Structure 1
């Protein structure tokens, strides 16, 4: 069984957003905290948890899935993962082939479905290139974005198409660094854009 009053955000540093991990209820300073404030204004009974961990790749998420996801039995689970798998590889680190990455992600979703069957929100990994060399990262990242789209379709998840959203916003702003200072981590504007898009997506999935 799940708790019908728990919303859980899961992911890497973009979700973590400098949360104080010594305080389990802390939501950090990013899109998860912004979305939580709006959710609680409508549903004061909701418990919103952030379990994003900076630096995580899909393997790290797998290793803590039981304790940081399944144990909470969320009614709604939001996941954003993938850019670190690309970033580490493009800077000479270990490579996680996209086919393996997708299957590992799939197994996490299969497990959570079997455990508590939450409503799912999958957020595309994204990159807003701020330097010429970051454009080369897209060779590795774009297939991961496509994998998330496939997984969303397979699992009946809501899909937040964050890559197009933030790149379009960067064009409108006139400079990519205004949306993601280093191409990966959103600015205050970037986090607000993500939160607003997330809230629009889940409006009908969270009552109140």
Structure 2
């Protein structure tokens, strides 16, 4: 399936999606993977500006924050492709603030958002898995919480017919040949290289023909 020039692509999630966007400017895409995807699609559009791209990432969000703004930030825009990237803050806040996000509750919330979108929109759903590139020994233990949360994301995607971008696998593969900080300086927030890898992985799933086309 291809992304068409008349599509509206909406991305929602946490700081990895936000990537410093100007929230006072509805057209701002930030400096991360959303911008990289939009630029690639625009560069390769046969004619016109390419698809409309909307970024509704907000730094610090957990899945429950997405739930509280889902209608206004997703449904009301009537997108044709909805991409969700969430989960790392649900893990991170557990370790740095003691703020729990039980995996079962997380899964129920995410599943509900995807199911609600499928009911209300005729949109393709894409889910990007959370990831972690540990830059120190303290972060290694985060996988105790993150691994089952990633499994929950995969189940929610499968139950709702969503395509999956395995950012966790992409980053794990990339770190074999690089220092972790080259991909995410704090283990969580991608560098420009990390964002480009996520963008390429999204394109390979959502629009394989574009991903394989010569630059």
Scaled by the length of structure 2, the TM-score of the pair is 0.90
* Aligned equivalent of 1:28: 30
* Aligned equivalent of 1:82: 87
Of 130-139 and 112-121, the range deviating more from structure 2: 112-121
Counterpart CA distance in 2 for 1:135 and 1:117 is: 40
- 1:61 paired with 2:63, answer no
The question of whether the paired residues in 1 share the 8 Å contact of 2:21 and 2:30 is answered with yes
Counterpart CA distance in 1 for 2:10 and 2:42 is: 13
Counterpart CA distance in 2 for 1:185 and 1:172 is: 19
Q: What's the offset of the Cα at 1:148?
A: 1.1
The question of whether the paired residues in 1 share the 8 Å contact of 2:41 and 2:50 is answered with no
- Which of 37, 47, 55 lines up with 2:52 in the alignment? 47
Question: Any residues of structure 2 matched to 1:1-208 within 5 Å, and which?
Answer: 5-43=7-45, 44-173=49-178, 175-203=179-207
Q: Deviations over 1:20-70 (max 9, x none)?
A: 001000000000000011122344241100000000001111111111011
Q: Deviations over 1:66-99 (max 9, x none)?
A: 1101111110011100000100001133201000
Counterpart CA distance in 2 for 1:45 and 1:162 is: 25
Cα distance change on mapping 1:34 and 1:80 into 2, 3 Å: same
Unaligned runs of 5+ in 1: none
Unaligned runs of 5+ in 2: 1-5, 211-215
Counterpart CA distance in 1 for 2:142 and 2:185 is: 16
Counterpart CA distance in 1 for 2:83 and 2:206 is: 10
Counterpart CA distance in 1 for 2:41 and 2:116 is: 26
SS of 2:125's partner is strand
Q: What's the offset of the Cα at 1:205?
A: 9.2
Q: What's the offset of the Cα at 1:117?
A: 2.7
Scaled by the length of structure 1, the TM-score of the pair is 0.93
Aligned positions, number: 203
Counterpart CA distance in 2 for 1:47 and 1:6 is: 5
RMSD: 1.6
SS of 1:171's partner is coil
